Chain A
Amino acid sequence: MMRTFMFVVVAILAGAASAAERSASMLSYACAGCHGTAGASAGDSLPILAGLPREYLSNIMLQYKNGERYSTIMGRIARGYSDAEIDAMAIFFEKQKWVSAVSQLDPKMIARGKELHEQKCVRCHLGNGQYTEYLLPRIGGQWSDYLTIYLKNVNTSEFKQPQPQLMKESLSLLTDEELAALAQFYAAQQ
């Protein structure tokens, strides 16, 4: 079942190095003012990047850069990098250690989120959302406010969000309340 979305392969690993040759660490340090040192975000609406797969990070950054994915600010930033630089940063962040968010959560919401997860999301987001590989991000232990914003945006048709069709379908039937419960459930998987 993991394979279903893994077919959505994008040619992301543009190999050629850029002229200026800015190192992966030099490039990636500059992201930390918003995403935390080494991608370990401490702010509840900004995503943790540390330890996410290279392919996932590269794919998303290229979609921001090319205007294929809605963002408030990442598009304006991603356009400042060559495809090779984006890949270099993806490798850098993949190597960093995931540090789960620590947030205050509501046990009732977590329980409701768990039910929904088991009905609709478990087939892809294995291990209560902690599993990550290739184009599948870890969502267990991610910040709940970030997850809530993301899920709300997936449901808002005005925004371009190229999610797997199956995920879009399962999400579109959910209310805001249910999305918030799912976000809390995943945030609790530290």
Chain B
Amino acid sequence: MSNITRRNFIKVISSSVAVAGLAGFHEIGLGSSSGRVVVVGGGYGGATAAKYLRLIDPNIHVTLIEKNAQYVSCPMSNEVISGVRDINSLKVSYSTLGTRYGINVVQAQVTEIDPVKKNVRTANGQDFQYDRLIVSPGIDFRWNAIDGYDRNAVEIMPHAWRAGPQTLLLRHQLEAMKDGGVVIIVAPPGPFKCPPGPYERASLIAYYLKQHKPRSKILILDYKDKFSKQALFEQGWAQHYPGMITWIAGSMDGHVNRVAPYNMKVFTDFEEYKGDVINVIPPQQAGEIARRTGLADKSGWCPVNQKTFESKLYKEVHVIGDASIAGKMPKSAYAANSQGKVCAAAVAALINGKVVEEPSYINTCYSLVTPKHGISVAAVYELNDKGRIVEIEEAGDPSPIEASPWQREMEARYAHSFLINIMSDTFG
């Protein structure tokens, strides 16, 4: 037992990770120059970049400008729609980023970015000068892509693709629906935020309907001919919800081009469908402020140097998260969080006149088929010699198709813990 004394037991009183507690957290020798970085958008990308900048180089002054007082996580918001989760568990305030990491958190809508004068202006007339700017505004919808789907239509046919009131609206519509009703989900073309999201949503709506309205059906009308984790979803649907979910591929006339909210109808090239609840997830593009600043190209997304996330269109402006074109990485919270760290390290190095490090990125998307049946994809990425983010071949893959119920249950448990950790790594 004398071994015990060889190392002292660590008695941890506080459960918080204070900035000072992170030994050897970053190895670049840091400069004394105190640069000013402004971050626009406090989602999974922007909040992570702000926090890690302060962890990497506490001399850098960081201002985070976010229009909302609190963030509502999209990951796991499909559980709110199925009725197994309270939306309050998805809400997080920005106060820890201020108190623990010394970030200047400003609640305001950014209305103008001047990349020449290096100035950011907010709706209430505040100006912020920067040495480097990080923009992480997430997605915006392409409002003209589906005829009839406008800002009024979302109150009747919710998108629920931003967590908050829209999520609850879709939930309430499902609760009010009669048994035997038809739920239509319109799934968008790529690239869009959270590739497995529409199919996880279909699964978790089915989970609710199976228990409370078992004669109901779900129809997914898709722009695409295949989707993320398709074999795993279809296996899960056959196992838990036989006959309940029908998926119509784009090439099989699944492509919705018009909606009529007051008749509760959607139209493809050759058919019209009537639904009792209709969830339209529209085609997407980079957030409005990024496009208005001229950071997006013709595709609607923002081209960047994939090592530093510096815009290819404006110097000293970096774009991360859903709005950026990040090689093979999908638009997910895990990806935005990972990019936020790579970008923070690059920005810290550039401000200190140091060499930018070789980047490393991960993405994971957990999805739930039921609250106890989880499936996942995971990938590790590197920068190839053409400067593009690519998957490392040896790693990655989806969960195996042949897995026991216990393995699926473990993945569901890990998915729930992943939510807690990604929220705490980003905002806490």
Contact = CB atoms under 8 A, between A and B. Distances in A.
Interface of A: 2, 20-27, 29-38, 40-46, 51, 72-73, 76-81, 92, 95-100, 102, 126-127, 130-133, 141, 145, 149, 156, 158, 190
A73 B421 contact: no
A20 B382 contact: yes
A131 B9 contact: yes
22 contacts: A23-B357, A29-B338, A29-B345, A32-B337, A33-B362, A34-B418, A37-B22, A37-B428, A38-B25, A40-B17, A42-B424, A45-B410, A51-B10, A73-B364, A79-B396, A80-B395, A97-B21, A99-B12, A100-B12, A126-B3, A127-B9, A131-B9
Given A25-B25, A33-B425, A43-B420, A99 B15 contact: yes
Interface string B1-38: 10110110110101111000111111110000000000
Given A30-B361, A33-B362, A46-B421, A95 B338 contact: no
A81 B376 CA distance: 20
A177 B378 CA distance: 33
Given A22-B357, A30-B380, 19 more contacts: A2-B3, A23-B358, A26-B360, A32-B341, A33-B333, A36-B17, A41-B421, A42-B421, A43-B417, A43-B418, A43-B421, A45-B417, A46-B414, A77-B378, A80-B392, A95-B24, A97-B23, A126-B1, A133-B6
Interface string B329-355: 000011001100110010000000000
Nearest to B396: A76
B425 A37 contact: yes
Interface string B356-388: 011111101000000000001011101000000
A33 B357 contact: no
B359 A36 contact: no
Given A96-B22, A97-B10, A98-B10, A37 B424 contact: yes
Given A38-B22, A43-B417, A80-B396, A26 B425 contact: no
A127 B376 CA distance: 37
A41 B359 contact: no
Contacts, number: 178
A187 B301 CA distance: 46
A124 B7 CA distance: 15
Nearest to B7: A133
Contacts of A31: 362
A133 B3 CA distance: 10
Interface string B167-200: 0000000000000000000000000000000000
B399 interface: yes
Q: Sorted from nearest, which 5 A-B pairs have the closest CB atoms?
A: A43-B417, A80-B380, A80-B395, A43-B420, A30-B362
B74 to A, nearest CB: 15
Given A43-B419, A43-B420, A98-B12, A34 B364 contact: yes
Contacts of A20: 358, 382
Contact of A80 (B24, B394, B428): B394
Given A97-B21, A99-B17, A102-B15, A81 B417 contact: no
B222 interface: no
B413 interface: yes
Nearest to B411: A72
B357 A26 contact: yes
B407 interface: yes
A133 B379 CA distance: 31
Contact of A42 (B3, B9, B10, B428): B428
A89 B1 CA distance: 30
Contacts of B394: 79-80
B225 interface: no
Contact of B360 (A22, A44, A45): A22
Given A43-B416, A45-B413, A33 B422 contact: yes
A136 to B, nearest CB: 10
A36 B358 contact: no
Nearest to A92: B24
Interface in B255-282: none
Nearest to A141: B12
B15 to A, nearest CB: 6
B54 to A, nearest CB: 12
Contact of B27 (A25, A32, A102): A25
B130 interface: no
A72 B359 CA distance: 26
A76 B397 contact: yes
Given A24-B27, A38-B17, A95-B24, A29 B6 contact: no
B309 interface: no
A159 B359 CA distance: 34
B418 to A, nearest CB: 5
Contacts of A30: 338, 341, 360-362, 380
B149 interface: no
A23 B348 CA distance: 15
B52 interface: yes
Contacts of A79: 380, 392, 394-396
